[in-house]
């Protein structure tokens, strides 16, 4: 068991291992080697072992990892065994899509509320029965529903004030889809997903690829 700081990429890979283990267990596989797990995910075996070694000794030499035991171990590390209460601010296309996305609730992220400021959107009913609420009620609802995670899907120029509102209402972490740099307290849990940035990165790759030939 290493005791250094955990690299951020390691965390994302753990979640990938977890997903792969779900499938392996479903298909009845009981043990797996770092080599085989790595092959399935395009990750080097040594990377798999190193990632796991940060958190303990999950494997048996000569044999590999027990899929069930490893999955439990990763679930423990990532906080997967519990339910997370999530709310979304911004009932545009993306916010609505996330609220209706079954993958999230299946993974333990329950969408408890969705907010907007536009009177056209407030009161709208989603496929899953949720109703868009007025952002004015945010703090009250957030506290009542014990929301852990806030998701920001508003336009860039409103993102900061939404983040401030979330932090002021006792939210524990934020996922930001708005293309804006948020100013938040150091070490406050934050993840960013910037879709247009990803498109830009792809077009750069394409351009490079072509100029190389």
Contact positions vs a second copy (CB under 8 A): 8, 11-12, 14-16, 18-19, 40-42, 77-80, 84, 86, 92-94, 96-98, 100-101, 103-104, 107, 109, 148-149, 172-175, 179, 181, 187, 189-191, 193, 195-207, 209-210
Q: Burial letters for 105-142: b for 16+ Cβ neighbours within 10 Å, e otherwise? A: eeeebbbbbbbbeeeebbeeeeeeebebbebeebeebb
Q: Is 168 helix (H, G, I), strand (E, B) or coil?
A: helix
Q: Which two tokens stand for residue 92?
A: 């545009």
Tell me which of a second copy, DNA, none is bound by residue 78, counting a contact when its beta carbon lies within the kind-specific cut-off of 5 to 8 angstroms. Answer: a second copy
Q: At closest approach, how far in Å is the CB of 36 from DNA?
A: 8
Tell me which of DNA, a second copy, none is bound by residue 27, counting a contact when its beta carbon lies within the kind-specific cut-off of 5 to 8 angstroms. Answer: none
Q: At closest approach, how far in Å is the CB of 103 from DNA?
A: 24
Q: Which two tokens stand for residue 200?
A: 């830009």
CA distance 95 to 135: 14
Q: Which is nearer to a second copy, 63 or 78 (CB)?
A: 78
Q: At closest approach, how far in Å is the CB of 203 from DNA?
A: 18
Q: Which is nearer to a second copy, 136 or 162 (CB)?
A: 162
Q: Which is nearer to a second copy, 119 or 187 (CB)?
A: 187
Q: Which is nearer to a second copy, 168 or 189 (CB)?
A: 189
Q: At closest approach, how far in Å is the CB of 44 from DNA?
A: 4
CA distance 1 to 81: 22
Strands (E), the chain: 31-32, 59-60, 64-66, 84-89, 109-116, 132-134, 149-152, 173-176, 190-192
Q: Which is nearer to DNA, 8 or 82 (CB)?
A: 8
Helix axes 34-41, 45-53, angle to 10 degrees: 110
Judged by the rule CB under 7 A, the positions of this chain that interact with DNA are: 1-2, 5, 7-10, 32-35, 43-47, 49-50, 52-53, 57-65
Q: Is 34 helix (H, G, I), strand (E, B) or coil?
A: helix
Residue pair 169/138 in contact (Cβ under 8 Å)? The answer is yes
Q: At closest approach, how far in Å is the CB of 87 from a second copy?
A: 13
């Amino acid at each position: 068991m290493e005791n250094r700081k955990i690299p951020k990429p390691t965390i994302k890979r753990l979640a990938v291992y977890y997903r792969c283990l779900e499938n392996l267990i479903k298909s009845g596989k009981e043990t797996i080697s770092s080599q085989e797990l790595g092959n399935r995910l395009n990750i080097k075996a040594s990377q798999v072992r190193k990632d796991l070694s940060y958190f303990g000794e999950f494997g048996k030499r000569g044999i590999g990892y027990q899929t069930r035991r490893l999955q439990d171990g990763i679930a423990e590390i990532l906080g997967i065994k519990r339910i997370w209460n999530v709310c979304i601010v911004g009932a545009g296309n993306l916010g609505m899509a996330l609220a209706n996305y079954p993958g999230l609730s299946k993974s333990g992220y329950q969408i408890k509320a969705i907010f907007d400021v536009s009177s056209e959107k407030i009161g709208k009913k989603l496929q899953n029965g949720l109703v868009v609420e007025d952002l004015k009620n945010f703090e009250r609802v957030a506290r009542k529903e014990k929301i852990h995670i806030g998701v920001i899907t508003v336009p860039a120029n409103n993102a900061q004030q939404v983040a401030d509102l979330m932090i002021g209402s006792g939210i524990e972490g934020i996922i930001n889809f708005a293309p804006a740099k948020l100013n938040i307290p150091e070490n406050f849990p934050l993840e960013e997903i910037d879709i247009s940035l990803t498109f830009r990165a792809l077009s750069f790759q394409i351009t490079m690829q072509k100029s190389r030939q």
